[in-house]
Structure 1
Amino acid sequence: MSSWLDYTINGLIVGNVYALVAVGLALIFGVSRLINFAQGSIYLVGAYIGWVAVVQLHTPLPLTIIVVAVAAAIVGLIIERFGLRPLQNSVRIAPLLATIGISFVLDQLVMLTFSPNPRALPSQLPDVRFQVGGGTIGPLDLLIAGVGLTSALLLFVFLRYSKLGWAVRAASQDRDAAMQMGVDVNRVNQAVFGIAAALGGVSGMLVGMYYNQIDTAMSLQATLKGVVAEVVGGAGNVPGAVIGSLLLGLVESYGVAMFGTSYRNLFAFLLLVVVLVLRPNGLFASARQAPPEPLTGTF
């Protein structure tokens, strides 16, 4: 019983990490109707910026998180301004292909800068475990859960109560109507890409600390898991992306418990196929109702 509790805790923790990636994807899809395949590469960049901060600069953990979030947000802003904004009036597939190309460019730049060899990323937290019922939980588990929950709460407050958040929601509902009402859509895109990139970069750093290892091949897995979590919850639906990520983390963790780590990805994509067959629009969509408002969904 204790081992199953451990697997549950592990699934929820990993799900929180997936949520940071999936929420960024949901934000961008909600506003731009674009799947940002460069999100996983920003996740990779965040992991290596975290490594530089921790190993080379010896920054304290709070400062490390801030540095990673700011640096990743800057990368996101650069991608939006110079990689995607010039393609606004192009055919719809052009921005999608651009994100794939940008992803390869970022991956190769990281590989050229740091080499393909894996690197250890220490967590900077005490290596202790606390007994919770029949299982255990550590400080890093609590940190990841706290970052995930805090990010979701702040994002909800931002979307619901700030003027820029209102503009983001307006652009997600009807981009042309929002422009006619005076919404600066370019500014909205900048904000969305900056927030999504900051979340993705922090998630990459946290995963590196959780497994005490980072490598240049981790971006593809992050992109795939983020897309799966977003589709499971409902494309463009932020709370759906969070719930889909937690569900994905639990399914993977229980699958690993029963069949081994080599089948981790199998369960992720089985979940995706099942959801697409039974609920093509995601778990938070209904065939008899209008789709939920993008971004805020069921909030």
Structure 2
Amino acid sequence: MDWIQQIVNGISLGSIYALIALGYTMVYGIIRLINFAHGDVFMVGAFIGFYAIEGAGLGFFPALLLAMFICAVLGVVIERVAYKRLRGASRIAALITAIGVSLLIEYGTIYLRGAQPEAFPNVFPQTSFHFLGATISSTSIFILSVSVALMLILQFVVRRTKIGKAMRAVSHDADAARLMGINVDRTISATFAIGSALAGAAGVIFGIYYTKIEPLMGVIPGLKAFVAAVLGGIGIIPGAAIGGLVLGLVETLVSALGYSNWRDAAAFIILILILILKPSGILGKNSREKV
């Protein structure tokens, strides 16, 4: 049955959006900042994975871990250099800075390596499974498995570890957390590191899924992941995962119905509808916010 294959493909794509969206929602939950440079960290992760596999001859998992580590460091550098000094500034100042950092990463990458795209190497044998009459690729199953594993690890870190408890405390009340002895600056940096590591992992997985990567590849997936975060409830970690999966399924459904030219537009139509009907998102609660 073709619909089973479409569902699996949609969930696999949605899991990539979910990994990127988690970085958006974690950072917003801590410091109320929309980090629009996050999509470009995703792009950097894809290229690190590409060069690690193609140039250094590493396997998938070493390349994945390397991309996650370097993107985590990049996330901390971005936070310390660009955002730390703006914590007391207006929202618009932080937003403009985020857009500036995004452009800096994009065109810095183009300056260093050129704008030409690359074909991501095949790291897995192309095999298929037959289930209820549907043909499901092993790549889709593998991508879904890795993404779910990373999301479960994140949930464990946030709920069970010391840094996760510090993140939740800072998200709830940064001043009270500081009075209780929590290092707020270190916690914010850790949040950027974890979110950026997940974006780097998503970049490698995206490269395997779509094979083509290029310096501006982070723009549309980054915006779609932001839509996924808003859809699920910005600042709520499970909401980002749910929003990503829903968005992936909707895009796949739109393409399956023969409207593939509308698949990108579908994400932004969803954004408009969710802002009109339920601005707090699927898991969010309506609350007054002073701006």
**TM-score of the superposed pair, with normalisation by structure 2:** 0.95
Residues 1:83 and 2:82 aligned together = yes
Equivalent AA in structure 2 for residue 178 of structure 1: A
Cα separation, 1, equivalents of 2:268 and 2:114: 30
Distance 2:38 2:71 in 1: 10
Q: What SS does structure 2 have at the residue aligned with 1:106?
A: helix
Instruction: Look up the match of 2:62.
Output: 63
Aligned partners of 2:285, 2:82: CA distance in 1, in Å?
A: 35
Contact 1:50 1:68 in 2 (8 A): yes
Q: Which residue of 1 aligns with 2:39?
A: 40
Aligned residue for 2:49, secondary structure, equals helix
Q: Deviations over 1:93-119 (max 9, x none)?
A: 222221111110100111122211111
Deviates more, 1:32-41 or 1:122-131: 122-131
Instruction: Give 1:207 deviation, angstroms.
Output: 0.8
Partner of 2:190: 191
Correspondence 1:67-146 to 2 at 5 A: 67-146=66-145
Q: Which amino acid aligns with 1:77?
A: V
3-state SS of paired residue (1:130): strand
Per the normalisation by structure 1, the TM-score is 0.93
2:62 is paired with a residue whose SS is helix
Backbone CA RMSD of aligned residues: 1.4
In the alignment, the residues of structure 1 paired with residue 284 and residue 47 of structure 2 have an alpha-carbon distance, to the nearest angstrom, of 37
Q: Secondary structure at the match of 2:257?
A: helix
Deviations 1:78-99 (A, max 9, x none): 1011111122232332222211
Distance 1:191 1:134 in 2: 46
* TM-superposition CA deviations, 1:240-292 (whole Å, max 9, x none): 010011000000100011133211112111222222222110011345xx79x
**Corresponding residue SS for 2:270:** helix
8 Å CA contact 2:234, 2:284 repeated in 1: no
Structure 1: segments with no counterpart, 5+ residues: 292-299
Q: Secondary structure at the match of 1:218?
A: coil
> Which deviates the most, 236-245 or 53-62?
53-62
- Contact conserved, 1:68 with 1:201, CA < 8 A, in 2? yes
Gaps of at least 5 residues in structure 2 are: none
Percent identity of equivalent pairs? 36
The one-letter code sitting in structure 2 at the alignment partner of 1:110 is: T
| Aligned residues of 1:123 and 1:140 also touching (Cα < 8 A) | no
Change beyond 3 A, Cα 1:143–1:218: same
Aligned AA (1:84)? Y
Is the 1:123–1:210 contact (alpha carbons within 8 Å) kept by the matching residues of 2? Answer: no
Cα deviations by residue, 1:139-182 (Å, 9 ceiling, x for unpaired):
32122112221111111111111111111000111112211222
3-state SS in 1 of match to 2:119: coil
Instruction: Quote the residue 2:148 is aligned against.
Output: 149
Match of 1:174 in 2: 173
Query: How many residues of Structure 1 are paired with residues of Structure 2 in the alignment?
Result: 288
Q: Which runs of 4+ in 1 moved over 3 A?
A: none
Look up the match of 1:297.
none
Distance 1:92-1:269 versus aligned 2 partners, 3 A rule? closer
Q: Which amino acid aligns with 1:155?
A: L
Correspondence for 2:253: 254
